[in-house]
Chains A and B, each alone.
Chain A
Amino acid sequence: MPSALAPLPDDIPNVRIACTVNGEPVVREAPVDCTLLSFLRDIVGLTGTKGACLEGECGSCTVLVDGTPVTSCLMLAAQVAERNVTTIEGLSDGNALDVLQDKFIETGAAQCGYCTPGLIMAARALLDEHPNIEESDLLTALEGNICRCTGYASILEAVRRAHRELVP
């Protein structure tokens, strides 16, 4: 038996969390220790955001909170109360793809696709915040997102193309 036992289900009280997710008001009960990642996926049911390392190293779970990218596996759901969360599901407005989504398809940047939502959200925040970023700085900005399949070349190319399209 491990020395630190997982808590019993009844030991963790629920809290009521009211926030905005992809422009829609969301009110849900969640355990106080629920991460934002688990809240979005398991409670709200938005499974586009992926969990992979669950310790803030890989960036797969990146979402935007009030426009700022966060690793949702390290943030408690309660911390987004009254704030705006944007996930991959909120990126394309029904019909049209976000330019990043389009470029990711175009360059073949989604292979297994598991890192893709997090990378697109991270890149989206980057291009929103720093539209005039130098291409050389893209590497630093995307360093927090791990991809195990592509070797990153197609991802970098997708972000470059989106950047060029946004900032001609």
Chain B
Amino acid sequence: MNPRATQAEPGVAAPRVDPAADPIPPADHLVGQSCRRIDGLEKVTGVAMYGADLFPHAADLFAKVVRSEHAHADVLAIDKSGALAVAGVLGVYTHADISGTNLHGLIRRDHPVLADKRVRYRGDAIAVVVAESERGALAARDRVKVAYHALPVVATMEQALVPGAPKLYPEGNVMGDKRIRRGDVDAALASAHAVVTDVFHTQTVDHAFLDVEAGTGIWDGQMLTLNTPGQWVHEERRLIALALGIGVEQVRIIQPATGGAFGGREDISIQIYLGLAALKHPGKTIALRYDRAESMRARHKRHALKIEYTLAADRAGTLTAARIIVHSDEGAYASTGIAVMRKAASHATGPYRVPSVEVDVYGVHTNNNPTGAMRGFGACQMAIAYEGMMDRLADALRMDRLELRRRNLIQPGDPVTTGQRVDNATVTECLDRAVARFNEKPYPGNAGLPPHLRRGWGMSAICFGLGYGDGFPDCSRARVELNDDGTATVYTGGVEVGQGLLNTVLQIAGEELGLPLERMRVVAADTELTDESGSSSATRQTYFTGNAVRIAASELREQLLDIAGKHLRVHPHEVTLQQGWAFETARDANRVSLARLHQEGLARGYSLKASALFKPRTVTEIRETGQSPRAFITYLFGAHVSQVLVDIETGEVKVERHIAAHDVGKAINPQAVEGQIVGGVAQGLGMALMEEVVYKDCRIMNAGFTDYIIPTIKDLPPVEAIIIEHDDPGGPFGAQGVGEPPLIGAVPAILSAIYDATGVAPHTLPVNPERMWQLLQVREGRPTAVA
């Protein structure tokens, strides 16, 4: 529960008409305001309680997880004796101690909570130890002896697909596939004027949220209560209940303050081990936290994709066909991989009109970490490919890069990869605005640069289908209540992970109810107190939960207008709600406070609360063709321009300037939207230039921030965010969302700028100094020592 402070209300006993009354202050019009974050104060003072902050105050016992040291092995025996001999150790639990299905997984329930027979990646959980001290739990964890029979390891997709390769699963290593078929690609390629082909390799990326997994759990014999950070508390509750063998109604999850997520909290983690430990020690509060290395070794990652891309155009530069084959490293378990594959396929040609398209995406199991949700969710990897191909095609056609894009960008009513026709296609405006901003300052080019430096600029145009899409049930619920003091409370199951959801829902409800921010509170992400609102992912919370909150708040508003109409003796249509008052629109001295309205409403039989469900439908893509008239509920568009400086002697790339233009429908809180845009560019810069989870024989070699390099303040140029607002007719106050597109747009724009600077088009990420240097050597025909 996140109770938020409220302040003094207008007097309850105010007379109905008081000619001498002060005028009611003007409306706040919260939608569109950069209101201060309601959780800002507690965060800047250190008062906010994150999962690990519960430890010194609440922990009775401590848990740790024993993890596989093998990437692929049969578990023959688990010897607990050494662990149980450690002072203060109370229990060591294995799969045999779990009475439920012992399986979790967001789409397929394929991942054992604790390995029963086989481990499939280094990091698979095998046992949970519980001790009186954290140190005791750590000592015991290291003293659980597991006997393995090592199996051949599948380290790469190539190894997985070799005939006769070791199989992770009896049915083989291909987890699934997804295809798009539109038009006649063979014919289009045969008659094309220009055809370009390249192969892209995107890397494995870690979410690297700062707040490592930590939390507490207690079983009181009736209810398992978990204070744990996730991204979808209601789904986590289901998964935990099924896996551990208790009723769904016996699990309560309460989200503490959460330090980032980016998709990395979608798959279940500490919740389920805490649940197991708590069930074994009734009445005791169990605490569990990972350290950074365990966080990185245990958690799923962003999919590494191999993308083979062929793109064709006619003589005028009009795109005619694309043939795209994608192989996706799914790692050891399904996670959300199937959905990522679908999103990759449905975004394969981005915001471009391509009449003939073939896309084949194959998910391939390896013994690497499972791969699943991360900001961009397959769409970001495809943007690297389609934008890279647009630059290559422009060269092949000897055509201006911008002109080629403008010629082929979808216009309102044009179809995207899935055949869905998009009415709100504003991508051309995004691109034009970004380029216009870039041109506001003179571009210095290479003039005056020393000979080892090259400057370049590049661009990207991207689209993103909002929500789960593809017919997957996707909905949010919300409840809004007027309290007896005239304040209102918004209840949402949505999870605040830093993105600003709490402000979004309050600003929307406040706009409907005429209440200032200080006179509202929000209760979020507590499975007992709030209704399900889906995950904080897929850039969906503003649109989905925002709509649910708006519908509920407007229903409550109607009640208030009715009650106020009776009280003020005017028609409800003549009543205005503003600053905690209801008053006659033409005569604000005829007024009543919301606190008084609450009393009166109850007396008249009103509930003074309202609930809403927002559940729009999407249409499942046809299996054979991947086509759907409504694959996604709506589309987001953006365009970036990036300017880089490349040191051709060291391979170092410095981003000097970056412009990001995004159509967000309506910015509920422009400061928060800008924060998402600039933050997304930062993560995109990391993905473009530095971040990479390095595996050696399926072991992560850089499970820590010393070796997993994240952008610092010095790596970021001034990022110019351009917020474009075209109301989405289906969004709350026209709002869409903004979480993922800024990252998606940033990476290809940086790569495009590198191409412009050096004449070398990168195809393997990240373009760290070593790779950049290699590319330059290859171009010069020099031998390179590095493979």
Give A residues with C-beta under 8 Å from B: 1-2, 5-10, 12, 31, 41-43, 45-55, 57-58, 60, 87-89, 91-92, 97, 100-102, 104-108, 110-117, 120, 139-140, 142-156
Contact = CB atoms under 8 A, between A and B. Distances in A.
B679 A9 contact: no
B343 interface: no
B258 interface: yes
B210 A7 contact: no
B43 interface: yes
A134 to B, nearest CB: 15
A143 to B, nearest CB: 5
Given A108-B37, A108-B674, A151-B716, 9 more contacts: A8-B87, A54-B291, A57-B704, A116-B43, A120-B44, A142-B713, A143-B712, A148-B210, A148-B262
Given A43-B56, A55-B705, A115-B210, A151 B259 contact: no
B115 to A, nearest CB: 16
Nearest to A152: B713
Contact of A105 (B36, B142, B208): B36
Contact of A104 (B40, B88, B714): B40
Given A12-B135, A143-B714, A148-B208, A45 B57 contact: yes
Contact of B682 (A51, A120, A140, A150): A150
A9 B88 contact: yes
Question: Which 7 A/B pairs are nearest by Cβ-Cβ distance?
Answer: A48-B46, A112-B498, A114-B259, A113-B43, A151-B678, A151-B682, A88-B46
Interface stretch (B143-151, B269-277, B594-602): B143-151
B706 A55 contact: yes
Residues of B contacting A: mostly: loop
B34 A108 contact: yes
Interface of B: 34, 36-37, 39-41, 43-50, 52-53, 55-57, 69, 86-88, 133, 135-136, 138-139, 141-146, 208-212, 257-260, 262, 291-292, 497-500, 671-672, 674-675, 678-683, 704-706, 710, 712-714, 716, 718-719
A91 B291 CA distance: 27
Contacts of B143: 1, 5
B713 A57 contact: no
Given A6-B141, A8-B139, A110 B682 contact: no
14 contacts: A1-B143, A5-B143, A41-B52, A41-B53, A42-B56, A48-B46, A53-B706, A54-B292, A114-B50, A114-B260, A139-B713, A148-B710, A151-B682, A152-B682
Nearest to A40: B56
B614 to A, nearest CB: 25
A60 B209 CA distance: 12
B210 A9 contact: no
A112 B45 contact: no
B44 A104 contact: yes
Contacts of B210: 50, 52, 58, 60, 112, 114-115, 146-148
B90 to A, nearest CB: 13
Given A106-B36, A139-B714, A112 B44 contact: no
Contacts of A111: 37, 260, 498-500, 675, 679
A94 B200 CA distance: 56
A89 B212 CA distance: 21
A147 B55 CA distance: 24
A47 B56 contact: yes
B36 A112 contact: no
Contacts of A58: 210, 705
Contacts of B719: 151, 153
B55 to A, nearest CB: 6
Contact of A148 (B88, B136, B139, B209): B209
Given A50-B211, A92-B45, A97-B44, A155 B713 contact: yes
A146 B675 contact: no
A112 B211 contact: yes
A41 B577 CA distance: 46
B46 A148 contact: no
A47 B52 contact: yes
Given A6-B135, A114-B50, A148 B37 contact: no
Nearest to B67: A2
A148 B672 CA distance: 15
A67 to B, nearest CB: 18
Q: Which of A49, A54, A112 has the most CB of B within 10 A?
A: A112
B52 to A, nearest CB: 7
Contacts of A155: 713
Given A53-B704, A104-B44, A6 B142 contact: yes
A7 B139 contact: yes
Nearest to B710: A146
A112 B655 CA distance: 25
Contact of B680 (A140, A151, A154): A151
B675 A2 contact: no
Contacts of A53: 292, 704-706
Contacts of A47: 46, 49-50, 52-53, 55-57
A140 to B, nearest CB: 7
Q: Which of A1, A60, A89, A149 has the most CB of B within 10 A?
A: A149
